[in-house]
Amino acid sequence: MTASEPKLICRNVWKVFGAGAGEFLGVKDADTSLASLSKAGLVGAVRDVNLEVHAGEIFVIMGLSGSGKSTLVRCLSRLVEPTSGEILFNGENLLAASESRMIEIRRHQMGMVFQHFALLPHMTVLANVAFPLEVQGVDRETREARAKKMIDLVGLSGKENFFPRELSGGQQQRVGIARSLSVEPELWFLDEPFSALDPLIRREMQDEFVRLQSVLKKTIVFITHDFDEAIRLADRIAIMKDGSIVQAGTPEDIVLNPATPYVAEFTRNVPKAKVVKVGSIMRAAKSASGTGATVRERATIAEAAPIFANVDRIGVIDSTGKPVGVLHRDDVVELMMRG
C-alpha cells in the first residue's frame, strides 16, 4: 500500500439475504432494484456500496434504522459475509482471506466497540481490558501493563479492580473502549457506541472520544443515526438509505450541497453555524494583529460566534498556532441569517 492509498477501500459491496442471493447478483445485467430483489424473495441490506477511508480520519456512516449501516460495518470486518464485492484493507482483499487469516487480522489490527458494552461480568476492569491480549497469548505482565495504560488513557485510573456492576454506564463504555484499544488496532470500528447512554453522559463520551482521537489518530469507522453526533465527530460522512450510500462528503458538503431530496430533508434542521468551519468563510491574512482574539480554523462558526460579543474581527490560526486569516462579524451574521 502506498502512502497516498486509503487504508480501507470498499468496492461494489453487496449483502443480500435470502436463498440464491449470489446467483441472482451473478446474472449479467440483472435488475437489482429493491422491487426486483423483493419479488425474488431477497432482502438487499447493503447494495453496491463504494467508499474509501483514509488513514487517521473519522469516517461516519449514518442513516435511519434499517438503512444498512450496521450490516455494512460488519461486512467490512467480515463478521457478516458480503454476498459480493471487494474490501481492501492495507491493499489486501479481505474477501479472499481465509477464516484463520481474518481471525488474525481482527485480533491484531482491528478494534471494535458496539452499543452494548458486552463486558465480562465476572472479570475486573483490568481483566476485561487485558482479555483480548490474553486471547492473543500475550504474557500476563505485558498484557496487564498495556491494559493499565489504556485504562489511564480513558480516565479510569483507580478503577482497575472494580467489577462492571460497580461502574456507571459511561464508565462501562470507557472500559469497552479501553478493551478495544488494548490490541493497538490500525482500524477501529464503533457501532453506535454511545446511543444507549443518557444525553449528558453521551455528550461527555463524545468529548472524550474527540480527545482520544487527538492523541491516538486512529483510522475510524463510526456508525450513528444522530446527525448532531456525526457533525461533532466526523471528518467525512456517508449517508445510507435502503442499503445504499446516497451521498458522502464532509459535513459542510452534505449540509450546504445535499445531493438528493432525501439528504436535504435529512439535514434540513441542522443549523449551518454548527457545521461550517471558520476556515470556510474567513478572509485570508498573514497576520492576526489588531483582532484581540483568535480561533482555530477547524472550529465551527457556532463555537466562534460568542467571541464577537466584544470584537468585530477574530484572528484565525491553524493547528500549529500560525495565523492564516481573519473572521469578520459581518460574514458570520450573513451565514447565520441564511439558516
Domain that holds residue 58: 8-109+185-270
Query: Is residue 25, in this structure, part of any structural domain at all?
Result: yes
Query: Is residue 263, in this structure, part of any structural domain at all?
Result: yes
**Which cell goes with 311?**
470584537
Say yes or no: 261 and 290 in one domain.
no
Q: What angle do CA 248, 234, 243 make, to 5 degrees?
A: 40
3-state secondary structure of 1: coil
Query: Is residue 54, in this structure, part of any structural domain at all?
Result: yes
Say yes or no: 100 and 191 in one domain.
yes
CA distance 332 to 330: 5
| Other beta carbons within 10 Å of 232 | 19
- Which of 201, 247, 218, 287 lies closest to 57 in space, CA to CA? 218
Say yes or no: 253 and 315 in one domain.
no
Say yes or no: 235 and 333 in one domain.
no
Query: Is residue 46, in this structure, part of any structural domain at all?
Result: yes
Torsion of CA 130, 132, 138, 141, to 10 degrees: 0
| Other beta carbons within 10 Å of 82 | 24
Query: Is residue 178, in this structure, part of any structural domain at all?
Result: no
Say yes or no: 93 and 200 in one domain.
yes
Say yes or no: 281 and 256 in one domain.
no
Say yes or no: 52 and 23 in one domain.
yes
Q: Please report the DSSP string for 191-221 in residue order.
A: ESTTTTS-HHHHHHHHHHHHHHHHHH--EEE
**Which cell goes with 120?**
465480562
CA distance 191 to 223: 5
Say yes or no: 18 and 94 in one domain.
yes
Say yes or no: 217 and 85 in one domain.
yes
Say yes or no: 198 and 224 in one domain.
yes
pLDDT tens profile 115-137: 777 889 999 999 999 999 998 88
Structure confidence at residue 339 (pLDDT): 57
Say yes or no: 98 and 200 in one domain.
yes
3-state secondary structure of 268: coil
The answer to whether the CB of 332 falls within 8 A of the CB of 305 is: yes
Among candidate residues 216, 251, 270, the one where a domain is terminated: 270
The burial of 196, by beta-carbon neighbours within 10 Å (0-12 exposed, 13-18 middle, 19 or more buried), is given as middle
CA distance 58 to 65: 21
Domain count, the chain: 2
**Which cell goes with 97?**
482471506
CATH number of the domain where residue 199 is located: 3.40.50.300
Query: Is residue 128, in this structure, part of any structural domain at all?
Result: no
Among candidate residues 224, 251, 270, the one where a domain is terminated: 270
The answer to whether the CB of 189 falls within 8 A of the CB of 112 is: yes
Spans of the chain below 50 pLDDT:
1-3
Among candidate residues 215, 244, 270, the one where a domain is terminated: 270
Say yes or no: 289 and 261 in one domain.
no
Query: Is residue 199, in this structure, part of any structural domain at all?
Result: yes
The answer to whether the CB of 74 falls within 8 A of the CB of 80 is: yes
Q: Which residue is it, cell 476485561?
A: 128
Query: What is the pTM (predicted TM-score) of this model?
Result: 0.84
Query: Is residue 114, in this structure, part of any structural domain at all?
Result: no
DSSP β-bridge partners for residue 259? none
Q: Which residue is it, cell 450573513?
A: 334
Burial track 307-327 (b if 16+ CB lie within 10 A, e otherwise): bbeeeebbbbbeeeeebbbbb
CATH number of the domain where residue 288 is located: 3.90.1280.20
**Which cell goes with 116?**
452494548
Structure confidence at residue 146 (pLDDT): 92
Structure confidence at residue 288 (pLDDT): 61
Structure confidence at residue 115 (pLDDT): 74
